[in-house]
Amino acid sequence: MELQYDPAGRSLLKTTGVLMIVFGVFGCLTYLLGLAAVTGLAYATSGIFSAVNDLVGMGLLLAGAVVELITGILGVRAAKRPARAGKGRVVWGVLCLLLSLAGLVHIALRNVDAPRWALAFGMVLGAVVPAVYLIGAARVLRGPVAAEPEEE
């Protein structure tokens, strides 16, 4: 008899895992282009000191995108085989959330010309998907649920 895991938790984990894969790939491409642009501008203007802060922020966001991609892949796998899902899914989710927020806060503090609503919107989006992922991972981590008795 196969153990029944929380179906809502599994679908939540799978959905957020797919979203994290999509956003992770998009983020990796975007932040790699941003790193190249910042490095090119720093080289062209010889403003290495001012570019270091931008490079740190872009590096944090790139690391967050890579972790988001890995977390999404692990989440989709855990949704397919919840019996093999361990506490690592929650750890990856927390790491993803922290890196996303750290990069966004760094960019927000550095980029004073950007509209505050755009920065707030980015922070909310950067936190919502990992937070929902953590909810799904915690529900799957709880283990098998009791099977509902069949009515005759």
pLDDT score recorded for residue 148 = 54
Rg (CA), the chain: 19
Residues 6+ apart with CB under 8 A from 28: 62, 65, 66, 69
**What is the C-alpha to C-alpha distance for residues 138 and 129, in angstroms, rounded to an integer?**
14
**Rounded CA separation 2/4 (Å):** 6
Which tokens in the block code for residue 19? 């979203």
Nearest C-alpha neighbor of 90 from the set 2, 26, 9, 147: 9
> Could you state, in chain order, the average pLDDT of each consecutive group of 10 residues for the chain (152 residues)?
66 88 89 80 65 73 87 87 74 85 74 69 77 83 60 52
d(C-alpha 16, C-alpha 36), whole Å: 29
Q: Which two tokens stand for residue 57?
A: 């922020």
In this structure, the chain runs to a length of: 152
pLDDT in tens, 47-78: 666 667 667 777 777 888 899 899 899 888 88
Q: What is the pLDDT of residue 146?
A: 54
Please list, in sequence order, all residues whose beta carbon lies within 8 angstroms of the beta carbon of residue 145, skipping any fewer than 6 positions away.
4, 5, 6
Structure confidence at residue 25 (pLDDT): 92
Rounded Cα gap, residues 73 and 89, in angstroms? 10
| Neighbour count for residue 83 (Cβ, 10 Å) | 12
* pLDDT, position 1: 42
46 three-state secondary structure: coil
Predicted local confidence at residue 21, as pLDDT = 92
Handedness of CA 127, 133, 137, 139 (dihedral sign): positive
Q: pTM for the full model?
A: 0.77
